[in-house]
Chains A and B, each alone.
Chain A
Amino acid sequence: MWKLLQIELFKIYRRPRTYIAFGAITAMIGIIQLGLKVDGKEYMEFVMADLSSSFQFEGNLLNGYFVCFVLLNLLLVHVPLLISLIAADMISGEANMGTLRLLLTKPISRTEFILAKFFAAAIYTLTLLIWLAVLALFVSMAVFGTDDMFVMKNYYAVQISADDVFWRYVGAFGFAALAMTTVAALGFFLSLFAENSIGPIVATISVIIVTTVLSTMSVPIFNAIKPYLFTTHMVTWKEFFDEKVDAENNVIKGTIENPDRIITSVIVLSIHIVVFVGASIWIFKKKDVLS
Chain B
Amino acid sequence: MHDIIRVTGLTKRFNELTAVNDLSFSVKEGDVYGFLGQNGAGKSTTIRMLLTLIAPTSGEIELFGKKLSGNKNEILSQIGAVIEKPDVYKYLSAYENLKLFAKLSDKKISHQQLMDQLEMVGLAHRAKDKVRTFSQGMKQRLGIAIALVHKPKLIILDEPTNGLDPQGIADIRNLILHLSRERNKTILVSSHLLSEIEQVATRMIIIDKGRKLVEGSVAELFDPAQTLIELDTFNNVEAKQKISNSNWAASLQSSRNELVVMKLDKKDIPQLHRFLIDNNIDVLSLQPRHSLEDYFLQVTSGNQHVEAFTN
A196 to chain B, nearest CB (A): 14
Most buried by B among A105, A108, A289: A105
Q: In the bound complex, do residue B51 and residue A97 qualify as a contact, i.e. CB atoms below 8 Å apart?
A: no
Residues of chain A whose beta carbon lies under 8 Å from any beta carbon of chain B = 3-4, 7, 10-11, 14-16, 97-99, 101-109, 286, 288-290
B143 contacts which chain A residues (CB < 8 A)?
102
Residues 76-107 of B contacting A (Cβ, < 8 Å): 76-77, 79, 81, 83-85, 87-92, 96, 100-101, 103-106
Known: A97-B90, A288-B54, A289-B53. A102 touches B76 (CB 8 A): no
Q: Are A102 and B55 in contact (CB under 8 A)?
A: no
- Which B residues are in CB contact (< 8 Å) with A97? 87, 89-90
Decide if B128 is an interface residue (CB 8 Å cutoff). no
Q: Taking the nearest CB of chain B, how far is it from the CB of A111, in angstroms? A: 12
Which residue of chain A is the closest to B51 with respect to CB atoms? Answer: A105
Q: Which residues of B contact A4 (CB under 8 A)?
A: 104
The answer to whether B100 touches A107 (Cβ under 8 A) is no
**Are A101 and B91 within 8 A (Cβ)?**
no
- How far does the alpha carbon of A107 sit from the alpha carbon of B88 in the complex, in Å? 17
A99 contacts B83, C-beta separation under 8 Å: no
Task: List 19 contacting pairs A-B, 8 Å CB cutoff, sorted by A.
Answer: A11-B92, A11-B100, A14-B92, A16-B91, A97-B87, A97-B90, A101-B83, A101-B87, A102-B101, A105-B51, A105-B52, A105-B76, A106-B101, A106-B104, A107-B76, A286-B55, A288-B14, A288-B53, A290-B53
* B146: Cβ under 8 A from any A Cβ: yes
Report yes or no: B88 in contact with A105, Cβ–Cβ below 8 A: no
B54 touching A290, Cβ below 8 Å: yes
A97 to B72, CA, bound (A): 24
Known: A97-B90, A288-B53. 16 other contacts (CB 8 A): A4-B104, A7-B100, A7-B103, A11-B100, A14-B89, A98-B87, A102-B87, A102-B143, A104-B53, A105-B52, A105-B53, A105-B81, A107-B74, A107-B75, A108-B73, A108-B104
Chain B residues near A102 (CB, 8 Å)? 81, 83, 87-88, 101, 143, 146
Asked if A15 and B91 make an inter-chain contact with CB atoms under 8 angstroms apart, the answer reads yes
A106 touches B105 (CB 8 A): yes
**Which residue of A has the minimal Cβ distance to B12?**
A288
Residue of A nearest to B76 (CB): A107
Contact check, B77 vs A107: say whether CB atoms are below 8 A apart: yes
Give Cα A290–Cα B17 distance, bound, in whole angstroms: 14
Name the CB-closest residue of A to B53: A289
Interface size on B, residues (CB 8 A): 33
Q: Does B48 contact A (CB under 8 A)?
A: yes
Contact A289 B73 (CB under 8 A): no
Q: Which 3 A-B pairs have the closest CB atoms?
A: A98-B87, A107-B73, A106-B104
Would you call A105 and B83 a contact (CB within 8 A)?
A: yes
What is the distance, in angstroms, from B224's C-beta to the closest C-beta of chain A? 39
The one of A10, A14, A107, A288 in contact with B72, judged by C-beta atoms closer than 8 angstroms, is A107
A98 to B88, CA, bound (A): 7
State which of B75, B81, B89 has its C-beta within 8 Å of the C-beta of A11.
Answer: B89
B91 adjacent to A10 (CB under 8 Å): no
Closest A residue, CB atoms, query B156: A105
A107 to B72, CA, bound (A): 7
Chain A residues within 8 Å of B79, by CB = 105
CA distance A107 to B103 in the complex (A): 11
Specify which chain A residues have a CB less than 8 angstroms from the CB of B83 in the assembled complex: 101-102, 105
The complex places the Cα of A102 from the Cα of B105 at a distance, in Å, of: 11
Interface-central residue, B51, B53, B77, B83, by most chain A CB under 10 Å:
B53
Docked-complex contact B85 and A98, CB < 8 angstroms: yes
Which A residues are in CB contact (< 8 Å) with B88? 99, 102
The answer to whether A101 and B48 have CB atoms under 8 Å apart is yes
Q: Which residue of B lies closest to A6 (CB)?
A: B103
Residues in B whose Cβ lies below 8 Å from that of A286 = 55
Q: Which residue of A lies closest to B77 (CB)?
A: A107
Name A17's closest neighbour in chain B (CB-CB).
Answer: B91
User: Of all chain B residues, which has the CB nearest A4?
Assistant: B104
Q: What residues on A are CB-neighbors of B73 within 8 Å?
A: 107-109
> In angstroms, how far is the closest chain B Cβ from the Cβ of A38?
39
Given contacts A98-B85, A98-B87, contact A10 B100 (CB under 8 A): yes
One of A11, A16, A107 near B106 (C-beta < 8 A): A107
Alpha-carbon distance between A290 and B105 when the two chains are bound, in angstroms = 22
Give the distance in Å from the alpha carbon of A16 to the alpha carbon of B90 in the complex. Answer: 11
